A and B are shown apart, each in its own frame.
Chain A
Amino acid sequence: EVQLVESGGGLVKPGGSLRLSCAASGFTFSSYSMNWVRQAPGKGLEWVSSISSSSSYIYYADSVKGRFTISRDNAKNSLYLQMNSLRAEDTAVYYCARDSSGYLGVVDYWGQGTLVTVSS
């Protein structure tokens, strides 16, 4: 069974940093591209970042480019999101999500999400 378990969320002050982690299991992690998608309270879904299976290709939404860094450790079956210079508008549930095999951008599995709150 595919499982994606996020951790690392919490309360942080504006300008602060946080590192999210996602532990993957139930599939060959090193063969899949992965994504972070967020959802502000009561709002819609917003794609944040994607990373290819071997980390060769990395993409960011304009809203986080230069502040967030996505990475992965295939030996540890883990995905990460380093978030710096956090702003109030970064407050959201952050989902770790897997791309379907052979379909980059088709997200077929999602974690349960971790809440990040940016507030003084």
Chain B
Amino acid sequence: DIQMTQSPSSLSASVGDRVTITCQASQDISNYLNWYQQKPGKAPKLLIYDASNLETGVPSRFSGSGSGTDFTFTISSLQPEDIATYYCQQYDNPLLTFGGGTKVEIK
């Protein structure tokens, strides 16, 4: 199975700050990488697919980059409504795997 290592596991930032989360795959997954947002008590929501493509309706302050084994997710200007846990997920292998999650809080 492909292991996904996400960091940090949690972070605290101020409104307006740039926030960056990294995700590393245990093997080359090309660009087969998604990012999801999960708010407390809610189902996850797809934000980015194919490493860098923004899902329809998702604000442009969210972005993703990377290929191969190293990927980055960025919130360009953190907003109060962005408080959530973010997960990366690979789909290069049909046995899908998620990263451990990054909990984003407001400082």
- Known interface pairs A105-B32, A106-B91. Does A111 touch B43 (Cβ–Cβ under 8 Å)? yes
| 0/1 string, A96-110, CB within 8 A of B gives 1 | 000010011111101
Please provide the chain B residues from 64 to 107 with a CB less than 8 Å away from any CB of chain A in the complex: 85, 87, 89-91, 94-101
Whether B94 lies near A112 (C-beta < 8 A) is no
- Known interface pairs A46-B98, A47-B97. Does A105 touch B91 (Cβ–Cβ under 8 Å)? yes
- The reply on A61 being an interface residue by CB < 8 A is yes
- Which residues on B are within 8 Å of A, measured CB to CB? 1, 32, 34, 36, 38, 43-46, 49-50, 55, 85, 87, 89-91, 94-101
Whether A105 lies near B46 (C-beta < 8 A) is no
* 9 pairs, A vs B, C-beta closer than 8 Å: A37-B44, A45-B44, A50-B96, A103-B91, A105-B90, A105-B94, A106-B91, A107-B46, A108-B55
CB-defined contacts of A80 to chain B, threshold 8 Å? none
- Known interface pairs A44-B101, A45-B87, A62-B1. Does A104 touch B46 (Cβ–Cβ under 8 Å)? no
- The reply on A35 being an interface residue by CB < 8 A is yes
Nearest chain A CB to B94's CB is how many angstroms away?
Answer: 5
